[in-house]
Amino acid sequence: VPVPEDRVTDRSHSARKVALAGGVPGFEDTRWPALRFTTSDVETMASALSGFEVIRQVRSEDTTRAAVLDALNRLSSDLTRTEDTLLVYLSTHGTLGRAGAADVRRFIVTSDTRKDLVEQTGLGVSEVLAAMGKVRSRRKALVLALCHSGQGKSALNDELTRALAGRKSGFFLAPVEDVSSAMVVLSAASWGEPAIEDDVLGGDVYTHYLVEGIQANDLDRDGAVTITEAHEFALERVYYHTKGVQRPSIEMLMQGTDPIV
């Protein structure tokens, strides 16, 4: 991916910070409601990532399943050092699909995902994590500004809705995907909760407060903001802004202190 000339430096002996930021505003399958703020969410996130080379994907033609997967798979050649940092940000609908009778998996809705063929046309969270796992960097974060609850920025097909309604545990048994080492996965909402777009904030609620945290929140006063500090800042504010409806979550596999600054 070409880097603007004003950002090119001699990186032969320096670590890189790269962000892949994608938002899906519209969908070929009109059963997925259009989202109003995904493009501005991407721009807001990109502007907050000082020191990152930001690769933007905001146009509908760039947000098909194949295009997003291609961009993710190219990251392994873009980032070749263990000291590099990778952040992937995706703002769209989320949904669920099944690989088997009892195997519920999380999917990201791309512009060409069909609601009746989620497993074949959606982008699995596990696929995103697998692509990120090929990157040599020990510093990787995935930010999902979406949910899998069937509410808010999410929708489920009728068959899966009926199947989940019959479970005694409801939504509260989250599916498990393999996460590579030194990976942080931030989600806009906890399992079974909606992720909300807000007219007052003019965007995704979690993205708004996460960016605010990146820009202003240095909990230990060391002059740097880590991804977990930004998330902790956002968590409380999202909870109160949504009156407890939405609680951002974090999944971490990490040794030592948070290395993602």
Q: Looking at residues 243-254, what average pLDDT do you find? A: 88
Instruction: List the one residue out of 140, 130, 89, 136 whose CA is nearest residue 260.
Output: 140
- What pTM did the predictor assign? 0.84
pLDDT at 215 over 70: yes
pLDDT score recorded for residue 1? 43
| pLDDT at residue 107 greater than cutoff 60 | yes
Residue 196 has pLDDT above 50, yes or no: yes
Provide the pLDDT for residue 225: 84
- In this predicted model, what pLDDT tens digit does every residue of 16-25 receive, in sequence order? 999 999 999 9
What was the pLDDT predicted at 9?
43
- For residue 195, what are the β-bridge partners? 152
Q: What is the pLDDT of residue 34?
A: 92
Instruction: Please report, in angstroms and rounded to a whole number, the separation of the first and last CA atoms in the chain.
Output: 22
Share of the chain above pLDDT 70, in %: 77
DSSP string, 179-236: --TTEEEEESS-TT--B-EETTTTEEHHHHHHHHHHHH--TT-SS---HHHHHHHHHH
In this structure, of 43-57, 95-109, 122-136, the range with the lowest mean pLDDT score is 95-109
Distance, in Å, from the CA atom of 79 to the CA atom of 16, rounded to the nearest integer, reads 7
- Phi/psi-derived region of residue 223, left when phi > 0, alpha when psi is between -120 and 50, beta in every other case: left
Instruction: Report the mean per-residue pLDDT for the chain.
Output: 83
pLDDT per residue as tens digits for the range 163-193 = 555 554 444 445 556 555 568 899 999 888 8
Residue 8 has what pLDDT?
42
Burial of 180 (0-12, 13-18, 19+ CB in 10 A): middle
Please state the φ and ψ torsions of residue 56, each to the nearest 5 degrees. -95, 140
pLDDT class of 15 with cuts at 50, 70, 90: confident
Greater confidence (71 vs 261) lies with 71
**Gyration radius of the chain's alpha carbons:** 18
